[in-house]
Amino acid sequence: MNPAMLNKLKKMQKEMMDAQQKLEEAIFTGSAGGGMVVCEVRGSKEVVSVKIAEDAIESKEDLEMLQDTIVAALNDAMKKIDTETNDTMRQFTGGFGGFGGF
């Protein structure tokens, strides 16, 4: 492999690692129930916070609905992480697996 190609690959690898680190540190927000539940999740998929509107529970029957809403909000945040990760990494792979034509 010629030195220019090797340098290009090393630069791309560093850019990919930097982008991945930036994604892992970013905070993604998911919500459900019309904003009744809002979750914040790092790109590394670590849950940072769960916020529940004060009027979310009026009776014990609301508890199951609230639990489902929390799950939906977390899933919303996880989808956003996956979408952003795929979009960011696509610039390095050219939409293909591996190193985009290398």
Tens digit of each residue's pLDDT (9 = 90 or more) over 8-67: 889 988 999 999 999 999 999 999 999 999 999 999 999 999 999 988 888 877 888 898
User: Considering the domain boundaries, does residue 9 fall inside one?
Assistant: no
Contact criterion met (CB below 8 Å) for 41 and 81: yes
The 10 Å Cβ neighbour count of residue 52 is 16
Residue 65 included in any domain? yes
Residue 81's domain is classified under what CATH number? 3.30.1310.10
- Per-residue confidence (pLDDT) for residue 101, from 0 to 100: 47
Q: Provide the domain count of the chain.
A: 1
Q: What is the pLDDT of residue 102?
A: 46
